[in-house]
Structure 1
Amino acid sequence: MLTLKFDNNKKNKKKVNFKVIATGVVAITLIGIVGISMGTSGGKAPFNLNITMGPLTSIQSTINTGFTFVKDGFGNIINFHKNAKKAESLETENNKLQDQITELQGKLDDVESLESLKDSLNFVDEKYVANTLAAKVVSKNDGNWYTSFVVSAGSKDGVKKDSLVMNGKGLVGIVYEVSQDYCKVISLLDTKSSVSFKLAKNADLKGIITYGQNIDEEANVRDKGLLQGYMFDSTYDVLPGDLITTSGLGLYPEGISIGKVQKVVENKNNSLKYVIVKPNVDFKNIDDVLIVEPRNIK
């Protein structure tokens, strides 16, 4: 008697193959539907696929959005890297330009300073011009005003005590102490400083710049950077606005510009006529000076 045997493995394989084929058919069908939908005018299918296309469209949109996000993300990263390099390059270039501007400004300041010092030679007698020396201020006293300061020239450069100190605006002061490489200058604002002056409008009207009692009732004139002094004769006709220069008496040669009379104060108790003078020199800003050897007044 013949016995028929079925191969269970073959049966299972057939079932698997059928499932694969069925899945493939469904996938092809869906792809076809999507193709038909995309091929129609305005993206509308020739028959109602609302139920089928809704989920597919959502999936497609999500995928497209995902790819767009990734693409834009990589683009942003690349652009950020490029922009960072550009910013770094621009910063480097900007620093170079700033250095060049600083260097050029320094050269311009030096030129202006030399021009100013050249103007100061107008105040120097010709026989002293050959013995002049330009120098820079390297330090100053505490406070707003240049009452005393140190200059980068000393005895090895030919500087002597009592040498005159000027700039392009006029008289600054006098050398007070000298070392080998430096010298100390006291300006006209220093209480130890004094200089004889004359009125530019009349050389016979003379006085002296010196600090003694406070002649301004409102405030100390030195706190304002002003000079004070008095006329040799209380009858002298001196008025605000009068220009004053060195008179030629003492250490200072004649004709060096000092400043302008700002106020006249009469003291009838001691028969003196005081003057408050606004100096031509800016005693808040002195960088370069001209040093002139002292006069021989033996």
Structure 2
Amino acid sequence: FSNVGLNLGIARLAPYAEYFGLGTTTGVEIGESTGTMSNPQEYRENHGVNWTDGVSAQTAIGQADNMFTPIQLATMCATMANDGVRLKTHLLDRITDYEGEEVLEQHQPEELYDAEISSDVAGVVREAMIQCATSGTARSVFGDYPVAVAAKTGTAETSSVPDTDPDYTEPNLSFICYAPANDPEIAVAVMMEHGNTGDYAKYVAKDILDQYFGYYTWDEEGNKYDQEGNQVDDDGEILVPAEDLQEEDEDSSAPEAEEPGEETEEPRPTPTPEPTPTPNSPYYDPAEEPPDPTPGPEGSPPPGEDPGGSG
């Protein structure tokens, strides 16, 4: 990369970087930073020294004053997958009405630049990125991935040597990839601040590809499952077989067993009261009418008693 940067020179390197979406806005529907693509003018203003070939070499490998956003790296990766044709980056696929039935606006791919990269050059870059995934710095995660992946790892230094810098911080990790390598459908960029030098960023990208291609799914608690329903770890090794998970589900849904010796009494049905005949009913008998408990006016005899009294 350093030699390529020296051969190109910053005057040619900078425009190509913009073709691929670095140091410029990408077109997403929200506010975004333009990032920084190293250039002689800003370098002189920031550091008070002139640009040299050494800075061109540093710029070519992603150092110097380069600072790019994750969406810019994703745009660059997608442009590489498209053989140098850069499309406008966007977050929205379509806009619908409140019910989600009528499409008010549909996003259409919009070409911004064509770097006019030859098929030979594009093929060399693609093959190099495939080798990065199969036998290079990403092989520990993507070496035997079911889909061919084109990838590139990156480590951005944030401090000087740990032994001499009391404010030393771990490097920032970056990882880009697209897949399938020979018929791209998805491009991914991962940036992890102070992520050290492990495989963390690669595993994040792998989870995204797993979800996209349907190799694994996750439940609400973050547990991971393969296509056969087995619970697996980050490497796809089975933790709990699908059969055991199914038995656990059946056990949890089964009714609780009663304690031994405990008897339960069947509830007795409540008898239905017989209806009381009304005066209009053919079964009505005035003699069976209960006395009216409501007292009459003061001085009146009780119900059923002769008003004149007995001799």
Q: Normalising by the residue count of structure 2, what TM-score does the alignment of the two structures yield?
A: 0.21
Q: Normalising by the residue count of structure 1, what TM-score does the alignment of the two structures yield?
A: 0.22
For the pair shown, the structure with the greater C-alpha radius of gyration is 1
Structure with higher strand content: 1
